[in-house]
Amino acid sequence: MSFEKQFGVIFTNPKLPVLDYRTLDENIEIGSLVEVPLGSKVVIGIVWSAGDTKFDHTRLKQIIGTVNNIKLRSEFISFLKRAHAYTLSPIQSFLKMAVQSLQFHKDQKMPIAYKLNHYDYFQITPRQKELVKYIKEQPAETAQYSKIKKDLGVSLSVVKSLEKKGVLSQIVENKSKQEKMSHEPITLSLEQSRAASQIREKYVENEFQSWLLYGVTGSGKTEVYLNLASERIGKGEQVLILLPEISLTVDFKQRIMKRYGAIAGEWHSQLSLNERRSVFKNVANGCLKLLVGARSALFLPFKNLNLIIVDEEHDSSYKQEEAPIYNARDLAVLRASILKSQVILSSATPSIETWHNCKLGKYHKVNLLKRFGEVYEPRVTLIDMNVEETSKNSWISVPIIDQIRLSLEKKEQILIFLNRRGYAPIAFCTTCRISLECKNCSTKLVYHKTKKCYMCHICGYRVSETTECVKCKSSDNFIPIGPGVERIRDEVSKLFPDATSMIFSSDNLLKGEKNLEEMDKIKSGEINIIIGTQLVSKGYNFPHLKLVAVIDADMGLNAGDHRVIEKSYQVIKQVVGRAGRYASDGRALIQTWMPRHPVLQALLKDHGEKFLNAELEQRIEANVPPHGKFISLIISGKKERQLIDFGIKLKNQFYSLNLHDFEIFGPAVAPISRIKNKTRVRLLIKSNKMKKISQSEVRDWLRNISVPNNIYFSIDIDPYNFY
């Protein structure tokens, strides 16, 4: 006879408390994913604690059953708990990423595929013939029905009729069976194998280690960490590689498959539900050894994860700005510390936080300073815009035009970098002297010529390009002010009508296979001139690229926060580093109005470590992170007065805590005062030193703040943005 047990079950909705349920199922224990009744619904829950014996257990509802026998490991639960404790975001929102929904786990239909059996068939319609020919050309003469439908547009009845004739047979594709890593030796350069063995030799089973793999763009950091990854996989362990940009994963996966014979899984928001289900299952059961993913991949329930790699660790896209607010780079380090495994942070331009941790001896550092195959850094030239002239409505200076012309003659590829999407950042009515603004946010609408609209880059609101001025009701008086990538492309087309050009920005990015086709055009050199936003700085490979032109190096330097210099340096350095990765004659031209600025001087002289040390020293001097800590409090709602009052109340509460190592600033209306029709007010807490005890006092206070119903309150620990 089995005993009835009682458990506390937690849900993925932050508003719900832990509720007690009973069960006779002996397999259910803490960490089990379960299906439970909740009100009139059935939902997914996680067995969280032993039940509260005060309850009369006969009145408790019963757990319906486990969800596919999935159980979260205790190590994983402590990771989620500590992620919650650090970020102060509700644990339920992390759990939601970790367990998905009940629907996600139900009705798991494996993708149906059809395989060609034989070619000798009689009485076949032209449509059927077309289908047979198509499948014959597919790998292993097999194709998924969804793909057949997409490519040929044939209905299921055509497929079924061939199945009846025995020409095709249906198979259930189980991708996980193909996962294996080839054990072919990978040839590393001397420098690369030195770096790899440094990390390998320090490896101790069940010991947490955080590594910075520091190497210039093109030094082959990827080869180094893939080499280490393949060793872990060879031992049957799982490896997670985080990438800063979703669109990179397809390209990256192909590279791995080509060179290492491994089939990697991918995890990001662009996957179909079935793909997500398959990856989730194989991550949880340990079949999938290598996962490449966006930041949310960190919250999957791996079976035996033993190495995490964060590629381009400095990249700001690891920071999730909406709830739950967290930094995946920092949480990757946390997860590795709980797993007692290695984490490798890879970058050519490491973040100051990581650099600081290396200096403190918390992180190990391994340098990979030579470019692969003895290639030198691109030659950088600053173009002083105080001296150079450009004609009206033109943004490319004469020296750059001359260099582009020379490069085109030599059949070299050129990248023009401007970190601004669309055609022009502002549209202005010449009669009324007012600009177009978002109706939901306190922002200017950006003109997108290709999309024929004006768009808000914060909330996505858009109006047609034929919109009227609110004052004079005319749509003919708008003029675009300033350049975006589309406008630069127009200028390029006028200057070099015979050159092929392409815009490389998130607006123009295509999904999956289509994206690969576009990338191939760049890789093959078919495209002469690429005009790109920050997206180009995210680890793409441009083998033919020789010349990089930066249109406006000063753009990021006007923001007022402590990371301005670091961010500007990272972006431009990464973009410049794309030039001449595979040859010695890479060149970069940088347009600036501030050629004496430390960022531009550092880029010119290629200081690398010297820059990082100087910047860290400046931060310590100024007493800002990573020396000390920032916590942002963001209050939003309808009425500004009420928000300010609530802010003042918080400030007074904070003062009454009597903490000497902390300061509080605000409340003040945020630089972007309105987003999605909500007014925003900010406070900033600053700690002078990293005092752990008082820090937890701050956290205890923050955790217990009661927020009025009509106010939204969010806490951003280690904020990246201050708008």
Binding site for Zn ion (CB under 5 A): 429, 431-432, 438, 440-441, 456, 458-459, 461, 469, 471-472
Write out the two tokens for 367: 């340098």
Q: From edge to edge, which strands make up the β-sheet containing 342-347?
A: 265-267, 290-293, 238-242, 305-311, 342-347, 209-215, 364-368
Least distance in angstroms from the C-beta of 504 to Zn ion? 25
In the beta sheet, which residues pair with residue 48?
none
Give the nearer residue to Zn ion in terms of CB position, either 309 or 441.
Answer: 441
Nearer to Zn ion, 101 or 430 (CB): 430
**Nearer to Zn ion among residue 197 and residue 440 (C-beta):** 440
Closest to Zn ion by CB, 463 or 668 = 463
The pairing of beta strand 19-23 with beta strand 32-38: unpaired
How far, in Å, CA of 51 to CA of 55, rounded?
A: 8
Question: To the nearest whole angstrom, how small is the minimum distance from the Cβ of residue 457 to Zn ion?
Answer: 8
Q: Which is nearer to Zn ion, 459 or 502 (CB)?
A: 459
Phi-psi region of 201 (alpha: psi -120 to 50; beta: other; left: phi over 0): alpha
**Angle at 302 (CA atoms; ends 297, 305), nearest 5 degrees:** 100
Question: Cβ of residue 468: shortest distance to Zn ion, in angstroms?
Answer: 8
Nearer to Zn ion, 228 or 453 (CB): 453
Q: Is the Cα dihedral 608, 611, 616, 617 positive or negative? A: positive
**What's the min distance (Å) between Cβ of 469 and Zn ion?**
3
ω before 667 within 30° of 0 (cis)? yes
The answer to whether 239 and 289 are in contact (CB under 8 A) is: yes
Taking a C-beta distance cutoff of 8 angstroms, is the pair 98, 300 a contact? yes
Residue located via tokens 């310590």: 620
- 458 or 555: CB nearest Zn ion: 458
Q: Shortest gap between Cβ of 479 and Zn ion (angstroms)?
A: 11
Closer to Zn ion by Cβ: residue 152 or 459: 459
- How far, in Å, CA of 441 to CA of 437, rounded? 8
* Nearest CA-CA partner of 593 in 550, 563, 547: 550
CB of 454 to Zn ion, least distance (A): 11
CB of 451 to Zn ion, least distance (A): 16
Could you give the C-alpha distances from 304 to 27, 289, 311, 683, in angstroms and in order? 21, 9, 21, 41
> What is the nearest approach in angstroms of Zn ion to the Cβ of residue 50?
48
Whose Cβ is closer to Zn ion: residue 64's or residue 459's? 459
Alpha helix locations (H) across 221-287?
A: 221-234, 246-260, 273-284
Burial of 605 (C-beta count, 10 Å sphere; 0-12/13-18/19+)? exposed
Shortest separation between residue 319's beta carbon and Zn ion, angstroms: 21
Least separation in angstroms between CB 438 and Zn ion: 3
List all residues 6 or more positions away from 632 whose beta carbon is below 8 Å from its beta carbon: 682, 683, 684, 685, 715, 716, 719, 722
Shortest reach from residue 477's CB to Zn ion, in Å: 5
From the CB of 672, what's the least distance to Zn ion, in Å?
A: 9
The answer to whether residues 366 and 199 touch, using CB atoms and an 8 Å cutoff, is yes
For Zn ion, the closer of residues 24 and 434 by Cβ is 434
Nearest partner of 267 among 233, 301, 237, judged by Cα: 301
Give the rounded distance of the alpha carbon of 586 from its chain centre: 28
In the complex with Zn ion, the residue whose CB is nearer, 136 or 439, is 439
Nearer to Zn ion, 310 or 441 (CB): 441
> Least Å distance between CB 463 and Zn ion?
11
Instruction: Name which of 192, 189, 263, 201 is nearest 230 in CA terms.
Output: 263
d(CA 78, CA 508): 41
CB of 708 to Zn ion, least distance (A): 25
Minimum CB distance to Zn ion smaller for 436 or for 600? 436
Please state whether the peptide bond connecting residue 626 to the residue before it is cis, i.e. omega within 30 degrees of 0: yes
Return the number of the residue (224 or 441) whose C-beta is nearest Zn ion: 441
d(CA 293, CA 283): 12
Query: Omega before 17 cis (within 30°)?
Result: no
